Amino acid sequence: MSDKRSIENMSDELDGIMDRTRARTEEVSPVIPEEESRSRAERNADEISRRMQERRARGEVSPESEETPVKLTDVSEIDMQLTGKILERTGEYERAVDIPNDLSYEERSEMLRKARSKKVDAFKLKRSSDEADKDDGDESGSRHSGQHEFENYGDEKNVLRDILQVKSNLTVRMCVLLFAGIFTLLLALANDLSLPLVTIFDKVENPSTFMFTNTILGIAAIAVSYTVIVEGMKNLFRGRADCDSLAAAGILITVLTGIITLFEPSIVRQQFYHVYTTTAIFGLVFNTLGKLMIVKRTERNFRFVAEGFDKYAVATVDDEDIAGKMTGGVLNDFPELAAMRKTEFIKDFMKNSYSTDVADLYSRRMTPIILIVSLAVGLLSLAFEKSTAGTTERIFNIFGVVSGTITLCSSLSLMLIVNIPLGRAQNKYLRYSGVMLGYSAVDKFSDTNSVLIDAEQLFPRSMVDIKNLKLIGSTKIEECILYAASLSCQAGSILSSAFYKILRGKTEMLCPVESYIYEDGLGLSGWIENKRVLLGSRQLMMNHSIEGLPTLAKEEEYAKGNFVLYLSVSGVVSMLFVVEAKASLSVSKWLRELGRNGIVSVIRTVDGFIDREFVSKLFDVDPDMIKLLPFRFHKDYLKETDYTPEVSSPMLCSGHFPSFAMLLTGTKRLKQISTLGVAIQAGACVLGFGISLVMTLLGTFGQLTPTFIFIYNMAFLLITIFAQKQRV
């Protein structure tokens, strides 16, 4: 601080000397020559430098206290440290309230108060209607309650931790439910089939112990599955019943029946009355098993998606007009056009992984019907059950019949009719770098009837090669190759990889292409170094009156069964390329598979030798399932397949055609399999209604023992799994 004060005092002293000198000079001459002024400034600088050196020598000024002067020529060079302090302009400033001067003080104050209150109201933060709709409309939220949505790659650990936590909880629940279910099953089998049994659990000898054990195990099942019970009943009362609702209704009515029976346990000795705890608990077992399969599938998908590989989201072309134009002439139906879009991040991962499926839709319709019909059958038992005597037994019988009917029609395998085939398909897709997150993919893509494909996807590297070339004109061979390679690479031709091999990967040698067009079915036309360059078929050259073409006989001699492309420069043919194209076995397989599933392949190409007949013959595909996209729609193609930083999609792949086609055909197959499973379960439910009604009308409902109802449900579970496996 003292050093700085000394410097300031020195500066003030010099200023005084300069002022006195200036005053004396002005007395002599009113104008000081520029040379004299400059020399005086230099003398002042020398004096300051000399005095500073003396002070340094005496140790009065340390080097750290000095500041190096900075030369600034413009105000924009000054760092004012305003970064992060300037607010973004979002609109015009609101003008101040215009208050007339002739008003009284009270009136003017009131106007100001109203103006301020409006600003305060406008400043209050309100939740947007879109956010509210999103929160209220997410019907799959109960399946992943408490789990983080995958919103960025920095959140990987949190999301994976939540998935593993849910998996752990479901595993514990499954263990408890299996114990309870197996124990009650052994009790049911022993009592119904007169198998050896510990006397204490015999319902004839010890009805109280038998009922207490079943009821306690049922309550334990409810305790470990309380989320299923709560969410299932909530959805039921909201009119959005799901698989949880059906399982919750079964276990609740069964346990309620058991609790009531505890007041009169001796009634279980009667042949007309049973408690169906076993089937109700196994309903929760299979519900938990289905959820465990969902979580394991989500874990595998997440570990794959979180890896750093090229991601292509499977998306639909939402613009109906563009989709209609691209598929015009090959579709007689509404176009459902799918394409691949390169992206870095897949949004809504958890939402799509835990999406509702066809089993939930079945439950939404059937759960209320099952409950109503079961209640109706229970009331009918009042009139037709002959074994009951007295009001108490009749009331007990109603609960038994309702419980038995619900468990008979509860479709235990409902959670498995989608998750078993979906899990099996997932293992297959992951081997080919394809991911199907959940059943929402089936809902979105199972009606697809057309796909957008680039010809480069049909011809992987080494499938197209330049077998020979012949110089025809006077243009140098190196120049011809560079022109052809530049035009091919710029336009996205399937010859790009072949030219890349010729140039040994030195793409910096390519010439800039000013502009190009693709003449449909003929080839490319562009401008390079102010020269008109054509690369295409013989017909393209003839259409442009290109000179120097060889005869057809010579062309066939050069081709030897392959394709011939010509390069012309400035109106003269310069080179002939002999091109060999081969079909990949995997591409051929999945291109045919698309055709068998009624999906038309719309192919973008800029190569003159590719046409419908060529593609049909090379890949052994029905020509009616192939369309070449006209050049006028290439911009629309690029728009629909262009890179997007993040996309919400239930399916993604690595960009290879086989995995893309596999996913699309898989959605159609999964829809058929799931529909078949629902049909079998619906048939089992209707048959169960019929059995309950007939047995009630005959007064023999007591013959529907817990063992019979359990075996009935297991039989239809095996039938469903077997039938679905035959359709794979």
Q: Which of 483, 667, 652 is nearest to 567 (CA)?
A: 483
- Three-state secondary structure readout of 572-600: EEEEEEEEEECCCHHHHHHHHHHHHCCCE
Predicted confidence at residue 57, as pLDDT, reads 62
Position 41 scores a pLDDT of 53
* Dihedral angle computed from the Cα positions of residues 272, 277, 282 and 287, in that order, rounded to the nearest 10 degrees: 110
So what's the pLDDT on residue 487? 93
Say how far apart CA 282 and CA 184 lie, in whole Å.
10
Residues in the chain: 728
Among 226-235, 387-396, 579-588, which is the least confidently predicted range? Answer: 387-396
Higher pLDDT: 250 or 309? It is 250
Residues 517/524, Cβ–Cβ less than 8 Å: yes
Task: Find the helix or strand (DSSP H, E) in which 648 lies.
Answer: strand 644-648
Closest CA to 338 of 115, 702, 701, 651: 651
At residue 183, the pLDDT reads 94
Structural domains of the chain, ranges and CATH numbers in brackets? 2-63 (no CATH), 156-425+664-726 (no CATH), 454-641 (3.40.1110.10)
H helical segments located in 143-225? 156-192, 207-224
The predicted pLDDT at position 702 comes to 86
**In the prediction, which pLDDT does 51 show?**
63
pLDDT of residue 84: 40
Residue 113: the pLDDT is: 55
Find the mean pLDDT for residues 498-525.
88
Distance, in Å, from the CA atom of 387 to the CA atom of 438, rounded to the nearest integer, reads: 50
The pLDDT of 345-371, averaged and rounded, is: 92
Q: Which of 306-310, 416-420, 667-671, 706-710 has the lowest mean pLDDT?
A: 306-310
pLDDT band at 82 (very low <50, low <70, confident <90, very high): very low
pLDDT reported for residue 36: 47
pLDDT for residue 66:
47
The pLDDT value recorded for residue 153 is 82
Please provide the average confidence, as pLDDT, over all residues in the chain.
Answer: 82
Check residue 7 and give its pLDDT: 42
Contact present, 489 and 506 (Cβ < 8 Å): no
DSSP-derived 3-state class of residue 411: coil
Mean pLDDT for 391-397 is 84
Band (pLDDT 50/70/90 cuts) for residue 1 is: very low
Q: Which stretches of 342-464 are DSSP H helices?
A: 349-353, 358-384, 391-408, 416-431, 440-445, 455-458
Q: How far is CA 700 from CA 271, 397, 692, in A?
A: 9, 12, 9
Average pLDDT (363-383) is 92
pLDDT, tens only, 432-449? 889 999 999 999 999 999
Using CA atoms, how far residue 26 sits from 16, 31, 75, in Å, is 15, 7, 35
Is 50 exceeded by the pLDDT of residue 6?
Answer: no
- Which of 44-53, 57-66, 167-176, 390-399: highest mean pLDDT? 167-176
pLDDT higher for 130 or 440? 440
Q: Terminus-to-terminus CA distance in the chain, angstroms?
A: 87
Q: How many angstroms separate the CA atoms of 160 and 140, rounded?
A: 19
| 433 backbone φψ class: left, alpha, beta (φ>0; ψ -120 to 50) | left
pLDDT at 619 over 60: yes
Q: Is the CB of residue 563 less than 8 Å from the CB of residue 578?
A: yes
Tell me, what's the pLDDT at 205?
85
The answer to whether 277 and 710 are in contact (CB under 8 A) is no
- Name the residue among 586, 580, 619, 579 with its Cα closest to residue 603: 619
Backbone angles phi, psi at 497, to 5 degrees: -65, -35
pLDDT at 461: 79
Q: Give the pLDDT of residue 16.
A: 55
Range with the poorest average pLDDT among 21-30, 202-211, 589-598: 21-30
3-state secondary structure labels for all residues of 689-722: HHHHHHHHHCCCHHHCCHHHHHHHHHHHHHHHHH
* Averaged pLDDT, 423-435: 91
- pLDDT range class, residue 43, cuts 50, 70, 90: low
Q: Give dist(CA 340, CA 456) in Å, integer.
A: 13
> For 160, which DSSP code?
H
Q: How confident is the model at residue 166 (pLDDT cuts 50, 70, 90)?
A: very high
pLDDT value for 587: 94
Model pLDDT for residues 535-552, shown as the tens digit of each residue:
999 999 999 988 888 889
Q: How confident is the model at residue 508 (pLDDT cuts 50, 70, 90)?
A: confident
Q: Which residue has the higher pLDDT, 184 or 41?
A: 184
Closest C-alpha among 294, 283, 242, 291 to residue 411: 283
Q: Which residue has the higher pLDDT, 194 or 46?
A: 194
Mean pLDDT, residues 523-536 taken together: 93
**135 has a pLDDT exceeding 50:** no
